[in-house]
Structure 1
């Protein structure tokens, strides 16, 4: 799970282009195999189409314009597929949920990325932390994200990532969220977790991702990829 990419300056949510290249190259030379979101969806729909044992799905949250500027050239050069999770209320705007001014991808840019083989998927409508919301509010947000994606003509895959990794703690709210996702056709939902997903995939609305931070060392990245959550 990546967010922003910058040519020089790393941070908690930002990796440099050198770090991104280093991470991808390490995975490619260490027996890991990058897969597309469609491959993951296919493995769920048709169990006979199993994922490779050391499959890696590369994802970017929020849809920052710097993904297009700095990450996509590296992905194309190294022939690596990726998925961008898009908060539909902020397409073409900035990351106001962080009180930030980072530009987000426009409708035209997102469509261009899709045509270039980058998958697009849902990341709530208003970048809400579902941990803090009622089931009714979550349902409305999920429905609105679909309405807006359709209005903009974005070819969204039936997958979702939780903003902040948050899911409702109340069982009734969580059940309503899952029922809404199923009704809207969402097949997969990704949390953070920092754990390795066993294959075949189990709870499809609780898939783990490794949180990659530019502020962490390469050695820590390697340990996370191998072992998952660090003590």
Structure 2
């Protein structure tokens, strides 16, 4: 899971960004090790239908829709012939749906179309990037539906893959995403994706500014993941409980999951 790819990202995105040079080195490693990048839709379809996967399948995903994905990542992906999935928050993209609030320079819709034409999947990531599990039902429905409609209007077909902002979801959020027509969705979790996670809660590994090539190699080879993400996973579990209680108190009901 990537976010911004930039030499000098905004302060708000710095920790979750990678340099263009680091991204290129990481893609070289995938190519050298014989990995085959797929789109999220391709992976989920293969698992759903119990179809065959290529040797060493891997997902390369980008969240939010930062401009550096087009400027820096796309040429590298094209060089290797790699597929990817770019999950866009439509209210952050430059264009008619821009409602402000973006953390850095974002893609515009012409760039999104170029990324799609190069073989990458465009997925949904909500409209304004809120914590979906904290929203009332009507707000949650708007965030998912408006994102879907904006992508369909710009690209000519609706997205089929979704990534939860911040990785947060509950059964209620997943039901809403499924009802909007999405066939699969991604969380974070900082673990390898497994079929048993189900198509609406597939996990990913975070690539950060501090992720060196040795750590990246461990991640893609599936080694020492628990060690590398121990602190993140502990914080995530604790914060999930806090969010659930907060939402229950607001709604006057038991927490959903």
Quickly name the TM-score band, shorter chain normalised.
Answer: 0.7 to 0.9
Segments of 4+ moved more than 6 angstroms:
none
What's the counterpart of residue 90 of structure 1? 92
Q: Output the TM-score relative to the length of structure 2.
A: 0.76
Aligned-partner SS, 2:161? strand
1:25 and 2:28 are equivalent in the alignment: yes
The residue that corresponds to 2:254 in the other structure is: none
1:130 match: 132
Aligned residue pairs, count: 221
Instruction: Flag the 1:119–1:152 CA change in 2: closer, same or farther, 3 A.
Output: same
Matches within 5 A, 1:40-189: 40-47=43-50, 49-52=51-54, 54-92=56-94, 97=101, 100=103, 102-153=104-155, 155-168=157-170, 174-175=171-172, 177-189=173-185
Structure 1 residues 26 and 126, CA, compared in 2 at 3 Å: closer, same or farther? same
Aligned partner of 2:235 in structure 1 is none
Query: C-alpha separation between the residues in 1 aligned to 2:36 and 2:154?
Result: 33
Q: 1:203 aligned to 2:198?
A: yes
- Alpha-carbon distance in structure 2 between the residues aligned to 1:36 and 1:8: 28
Question: Whose relative contact order is higher, 1 or 2, with alpha carbons under 8 Å and at least 6 apart?
Answer: 1
Q: Which moved more, 1:148-157 or 1:64-73?
A: 148-157
Unaligned stretches of 5+ residues in structure 1? 169-173
How many Å apart are 1:201 and its aligned residue? Answer: 5.1
In the alignment, does 2:223 pair up with 1:221?
no
C-alpha contact (below 8 Å) 1:192/1:208 kept by paired residues:
yes
- Secondary structure at the aligned position of 2:159 is classed as strand
Question: How high is the TM-score relative to the length of structure 1?
Answer: 0.84
**Per-residue CA shift, 1:38-87, capped at 9, x if unaligned?**
4214314422x232463101011111111111111111111111111011
Classify 1:136/1:44 alpha carbon distance in 2 versus 1 (closer, same or farther; 3 Å): farther
Q: Which runs of 5+ in 2 are unaligned?
A: 231-257
Partner of 2:4: 4
Contact 1:4–1:67 (CA under 8 A) maintained in structure 2: yes
Check whether the contact 1:111–1:155 (CA below 8 A) recurs between aligned residues. no
* 8 Å contact kept, 1:119–1:156: no
